[in-house]
Structures are given as C-alpha cells and as structure tokens.
Amino acid sequence: MTSVSTARRTESVLARPDDGYVRHVVRTHLHPETGSRYWLERDRRLGLDAYSRVETFEDLKRWVGFRDLEDQLDFERATRSRPVEDFIPASLLADRERWIWVSQTGGTTGPAKHGNWDSRYWRRILDFTDEFLDAHGIPRDVNWLFIGPMGPHTTGRLVVSIAEHRGGRCFSIDLDPRIVKIFGTEGMHEASDRYIRHIWDQVTAV
C-alpha cells in the first residue's frame, strides 16, 4: 500500500472521470446480486434503475446523485447507524486480495460517520494528491511531521501514505479532535491548555 514511488504521471487525475470508469463503479455497486445493500435499497426505494440508465458522468449525477437535502441527510444517518458492510459491494467483500479499511469522521456535526477505502481507490487518492503537491512545489524525498488525528480517522493514515509514496517517512503526533471539542464545549480551559502543552512536548521531542 505504501511502496515508495516517485514516478511522475503523464496524464492529469483532475480530469472528469472517464465514462467507462463511471459505468464500472455504478454496475459494481448496483449489481442486483453482488452490489452494495444500501445503494440497492435506495435505488429501489426511489425507483431510479441507475444500473440500466447510467452510461456517462452526467447520467451519474442525474440518477445516483442526491435528490434533495433529505436524501443526503438519510445517507448521513445511514453512515452513522448501519453496518459498514451495507456500503461495500458483496463482490468486493468476497475478494480477499483487496484490503478494505474502515474509517470514522471526527464527529463535528454529530455522532461519527464511517466510510470505507479499498486499496485501488487509495492509490487514486495518492495520485490525486501528488499532482496537487507537485503543482505547489512541495518537495519529494523528505520526511514529514504530522500533528493530527490518527486512530480511526482517514487523515492520519492518508498522510503517512502520502509521505511514503513521495519517498519520505512520516513522524506523527496523535491529536484527538473529539476530546478537544469536549474541552471547548464544557469550558474546560485548563484541561485544553494542558492538552496543548502535552502535544507540543511530543513535537519538541521529535
């Protein structure tokens, strides 16, 4: 997953998704027998038949995109309460050669939401990030220091992968965003100040 690669891509990853890739994603998630339970249930409930209708990126936005705010909120509620497997196509769950990692949000808007990443999509994220960092002159082959959420959060794991992908190593200091929010909302200013000093003590040591 984190093998070092300093090769430059010859084509941009920022272009609109290829229609063939769009069809592959939709047919994987909405296959009647091996798709993902949540998206199949939503498709049937809304009468969309996206499996048959989606051929292009524009079709994707029309037939799979959220219909309205309530549809979006329903999705967010589902990511907080439903089994994580409901969002993963059964065909991928059966493929033991592909790792699938579960992550959580920091809980800023309420209870934490969970998401999934697989090895192939993770590589696309690394390529996407590489293009941005190269465009802004961020050097390769250097070590990084990351101060932020590790644990179940995507951010920490992704930063480690980005640093290694670009030829460096990542030193990390774990910062728990959830306890920071508790300190703030409950007025625990002394505890907040002490936690900040605790973080900086670790930074100084590195």
Question: What does the alpha-carbon distance between residue 53 and residue 46 come to, in Å, rounded to a whole number?
Answer: 14
Least trusted range by pLDDT, from 40-44, 50-54, 86-90, 173-177 = 173-177
Contact 130, 161 (CB under 8 A): no
> Mean per-residue pLDDT for 168-174?
93
**Confidence category of residue 197, pLDDT binned at 50, 70, 90:** very high
Through-space distance between the first and last CA atoms of the chain, rounded to whole angstroms: 25
The pLDDT of residue 9 is 55
Kindly state whether residue 53 falls inside one of the protein's structural domains.
yes
Kindly state whether residue 151 falls inside one of the protein's structural domains.
no
Q: Please, what is the average pLDDT of the chain?
A: 88
Kindly state whether residue 39 falls inside one of the protein's structural domains.
yes
**Above pLDDT 70, what percent of the chain?**
92
Domain count, the chain: 1
> Mean per-residue pLDDT for 35-53?
97
Q: Which token pair is 73?
A: 């909120």
Q: How far is CA 109 from CA 3, 80, 105, 147, in A?
A: 35, 11, 9, 22
Kindly state whether residue 156 falls inside one of the protein's structural domains.
no
Kindly state whether residue 160 falls inside one of the protein's structural domains.
no
Kindly state whether residue 202 falls inside one of the protein's structural domains.
no
Residue bearing the bigger pLDDT, 155 or 73: 73
Which residue range is the domain that position 30 belongs to?
A: 15-100+107-112
Kindly state whether residue 36 falls inside one of the protein's structural domains.
yes
Report the chain's C-alpha Rg in angstroms.
Answer: 20
Kindly state whether residue 77 falls inside one of the protein's structural domains.
yes
- 119-155: per-residue pLDDT in tens? 888 888 899 899 999 999 999 999 999 998 887 778 8
**Confidence category of residue 3, pLDDT binned at 50, 70, 90:** very low
Q: How far is CA 71 from CA 74, 106, 202, in A?
A: 5, 22, 43
- 11-42: per-residue pLDDT in tens? 666 667 789 989 999 999 999 999 999 999 99
Show Cβ contacts of residue 205 under 8 Å, excluding neighbours closer than 6 positions.
Answer: none
What does pTM read for this prediction? Answer: 0.72
**Confidence category of residue 167, pLDDT binned at 50, 70, 90:** very high
The pLDDT of residue 157 is 87
The pLDDT of residue 50 is 97
